[in-house]
Amino acid sequence: MAKKIIDQSHLCKDQLEQAEKNKKFGKTGIAQGRTIEPEPFYEKGQAEKIISGFNNNFMILGQDRPGHKFTGGGAKGATQSGRIDLIAGMGATFRHKNGTYGPPCSGTIMNPNFAMDAARVYISQRSDLDRYMGLAKVDGQAPPGRSGIGLKADVIRIHARQDIKIVTGRARVRGTGKDGERLSTGGKNDVVGTISFIAGNYTDADKGFIMSAYDPKKLPGIKRRKKLQPIPKGDNLAECLEDIIDAIAQLQSQAAQNTGYIREMSFQLMTHIHTGATGPVSTPLIINKGWPPLKPIGPKVFTQAAITSGAGKMLGRNIDSLKLNHLSKLGSNYINSKHVFTT
């Protein structure tokens, strides 16, 4: 249900009186006018500079601090841990004694809180953003103590009129030495990094019922499967599918040839005439209509069997190569990305 655009349900007594006066005089905040709404009091640290507006919005310049004064690098006196914190709607989901949620009454001392603030942009020179924001774990991600930017809101939109790039790794610039661009800590940046798309903030393995349609001897059962998986690379996947289709076409061609020779041999067996103890004996089901006698078909089938056997071995080697090239992490055309993952 949509929330009312004017909500003064959590005003303090003196604010309620002022709000009623404003209504009488037509001062309702229209056209960017001043409004009466809860504005909590930010618990300022000694090293912080605060710029605040009239609508529960703040810009805080200080040290790394995701929550109260005893959190983050600033709580430990860490150096090189500067922070710029933009907050719109501090304590927006504060729980009141009557069970309702909304900003606390003006004058209430509040601290930043990623789970309670309506919208926040957190820029820190040294941080542990995944822990601060309560994000799901990802293997191979950067360790704590790196510079970071965290964005939190109900919805976030990024709109480019032309291109959007999401890039990891070092910048391609000159003048950074043989090791290239370094981390904010001064350390070497030797990793490419990963990009993870996580819906639902959940990366734990899923359990599912697995039953093999190709191996009836394999008993069905419950199997754990990774929730966060690599994204396939389009061109490599297309090449893999083409190789599979080619292999299926070769197999179909060999099967069709074998079927033709089997039919030919079966027909001649059915129409074969030989001499028994009581004289000529024939298979009376079909009359031989110009088909060659049985004897010449034998070498023909034998030769074809040898050709088919060789082609089958070649097909098997091609399938092994397909697995190595496209389905192995060591393959040159591995179908999955090594750095981009999704749930």
Say if strands 41-42 and 109-110 run parallel, antiparallel, or are unpaired.
parallel
pLDDT band of 257, cuts 50, 70, 90: confident
Tens digits of per-residue pLDDT, 147-175? Answer: 999 999 999 999 999 999 999 998 888 88
Tens digits of per-residue pLDDT, 162-216? Answer: 999 999 998 888 888 888 888 888 889 888 899 999 999 989 888 877 777 666 6
CB atoms within 10 A of CB 249: 10
DSSP states of 290-329 as a string? SPPPHHHHHHHHHHHHHHHHHHHHHHHHHHHHHIIIIIST
| Per-residue pLDDT at 286 exceeds 50 | no
CB atoms within 10 A of CB 100: 10
Distance CA 9, CA 12 (A): 9
> Do residues 44 and 53 make contact, with C-beta atoms less than 8 angstroms apart?
no
pLDDT band of 288, cuts 50, 70, 90: very low
Q: pTM of the prediction? A: 0.74
Distance CA 29, CA 299 (A): 99
Distance CA 262, CA 150 (A): 69
> Do residues 217 and 288 make contact, with C-beta atoms less than 8 angstroms apart?
no
pLDDT confidence of residue 139: 87
Return the ∠ at Cα 203 (arms to 201 and 205), rounded to 5°: 145
Tens digits of per-residue pLDDT, 41-61? Answer: 999 999 999 999 988 999 999
| Per-residue pLDDT at 22 exceeds 60 | yes
| Per-residue pLDDT at 293 exceeds 60 | no
pLDDT confidence of residue 278: 60
How big is the chain, counted in residues? 343
Distance CA 68, CA 49 (A): 15
Q: What is the DSSP letter of 77?
A: T
Q: Given 3-state DSSP classes, what are the helix, strand and coil percentages for the chain, each rounded to the nearest 5?
A: 25, 20, 50
